[in-house]
Amino acid sequence: MSFSGHAQKTSKRTFPMESVLMPQVPRGNYLHLQEEKQRLQLKKFLLHRMFLVAKITANTEKKIIADYYEQVLQSTLKLHKGEAVTGFLLIYPTSILHILESSSDTLYQILLDHLDQKKNDTEFFIHGMKIIVVSHNIPTRLFMQWHVSEIKAPVMYLDDVTQTQSLEEVLTEFLTQTHKLAIHLLKTVKVSAKGPGDNLHQLAPELLIPEQIIKYLCKSEEFMDPEAFLNMYNKPIHITLDSEVVWPAPSHF
């Protein structure tokens, strides 16, 4: 009997209750996971991609548009050092397609400069701008630099899809073609090169977005202009917690 009692005491010392309750694997949280991903990717800031379309005054020279945006990008880089801007500016006869990749602060500053120019310059050549899509926290860039290309020769299109398709279908085609064009430039344009130049309509005519699609998106009221977007961006967020909701609702006599 004494041997049995000794065995029970030994069993209690070997399996204490505290060891069963303690977790065997250290637990993390979603914030730590995101921080680790950013550290592994060696990012200094979250990367975002913004798609812009706008109308331009007819017969506006490419140099005027390119010089304006180059000046904006240079002044923005002075305020946000290390946050490089990459993307693509496609200049059509009466419209533009602009893709930008950078931090949220840099993109905010570019839109703010557009509004300042629009308010101070009555003859500003860019108007009717719409923000089509803003992709947040993208994993990698589609562009290694910022390039400008002008569509000089007219591109012939068989049909106008804006007359037969819904906005959702037109937008899907717009994003699909834009992505294909970005992949093509990523594979063909070398780093530190000047870009595809002004013969993109000859190099990849099947990848170009028809200008009527850009004009169609500029007219669509479903997309925000820079002013509405920045107002929403600066608007404080009011969140009602569950603890603040009283049920049933108080009644007044």
Q: List the chain domain ranges.
A: 44-234
Q: What are the respective helix, strand and coil percentages of the chain, to the nearest 5?
A: 45, 15, 40
The SS3 of residue 53 is strand
Tens-level pLDDT at each residue, the chain (253 residues): 444 545 454 444 555 554 455 555 456 666 666 666 555 554 567 899 999 999 999 889 999 999 999 999 999 988 888 788 999 999 999 999 999 999 999 999 999 999 999 999 888 999 999 999 999 999 889 888 898 999 875 655 556 777 788 999 999 999 999 999 989 888 887 765 566 666 777 777 788 888 999 999 999 999 999 999 998 888 766 666 666 666 655 555 5
Q: How many Å apart are CA 30 and CA 136, to the nearest integer?
A: 17
Considering the four listed CATH numbers 3.40.50.2300, 2.160.10.10, 3.90.1150.10, 3.30.70.100, the one that applies to the domain covering 44-234 is 3.30.70.100
Q: How many Å apart are CA 194 and CA 197, to the nearest integer?
A: 7
- pTM, rounded to two decimals: 0.73
Write down the pLDDT at residue 164.
83
Q: How many Å apart are CA 124 and CA 156, to the nearest integer?
A: 29
95's enclosing H/E stretch is: strand 95-102
- Residue of 136, 128, 52 whose CA lies nearest to 87: 52
Q: How many Å apart are CA 44 and CA 46, to the nearest integer?
A: 7
Q: How many Å apart are CA 22 and CA 251, to the nearest integer?
A: 49
Q: How many Å apart are CA 168 and CA 217, to the nearest integer?
A: 11
Tokens of 132: 């089509």
26 Rama class: left (phi>0) / alpha (psi -120 to 50) / beta: beta
At position 229, the amino acid (one-letter code) is: F
Write down the pLDDT at residue 208.
87
DSSP string covering 180-233: HHHHHHHHHSPTTS--STT-HHHH-GGGSPPHHHHHHHHH-TTSBPHHHHHHHH
**Four-point Cα dihedral 34, 38, 39, 43, nearest 10:** -160
At position 51, the amino acid (one-letter code) is: F
Helices H / strands E in the chain, number of each: 9, 5
* DSSP letter (8 states) at residue 153: S
